[in-house]
């Protein structure tokens, strides 16, 4: 069985989030949660929240049966860019500097080990 979770408009640049997502791709959920918990990166907190949501969605699909995170594998994880908040910062001599605050959309798909066919 397979379940997914999506977090949209996460206030972190996609490039920084991809570093964290690349760390956990194709790992078991238990191993990924441990990696995210110990990571010093701010993006890891958002990724952990999405992974926990995907695990909860999988439990709901199985009629609220408790799941062992060691038996669940992350089969797909991706980060897509979201819209940018654009601001203007005054600069010397009448110029203006653009500030682009980037956002991203995180998608994580998990599946039980029986149903996994991951090509690494």
Domain 2-115 homologous superfamily, CATH:
Ribosomal protein L22/L17 (3.90.470.10)
Residue extents of the structural domains in the chain: 2-115
**Span 99-107, average pLDDT:** 97
Tens digits of residue pLDDT in 6-48: 999 999 999 999 999 999 999 999 999 999 999 999 999 999 9
Confidence of residue 113 (pLDDT cuts 50, 70, 90): confident
pLDDT value for 66:
84
- Does the pTM exceed 0.85? yes
Strand order in the sheet with 104-112: 2-10, 104-112, 72-81
């Amino acid at each position: 069985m397979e379940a997914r979770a999506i977090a949209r408009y996460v206030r972190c640049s996609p490039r920084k989030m991809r570093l964290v997502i690349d760390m956990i791709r194709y790992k078991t959920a238990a191993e990924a949660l441990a990696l995210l918990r110990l990571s010093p990166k701010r993006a890891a907190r958002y990724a952990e929240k999405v992974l926990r949501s995907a695990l909860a969605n999988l439990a709901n699909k199985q009629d609220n049966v408790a799941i062992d995170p060691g038996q669940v594998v992350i089969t797909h994880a991706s980060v897509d860019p979201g819209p940018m908040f654009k601001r203007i910062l005054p600069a010397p001599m009448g110029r203006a500097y653009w500030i682009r605050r980037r956002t991203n959309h995180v998608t994580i798909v998990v599946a039980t080990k029986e149903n996994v066919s991951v090509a690494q």
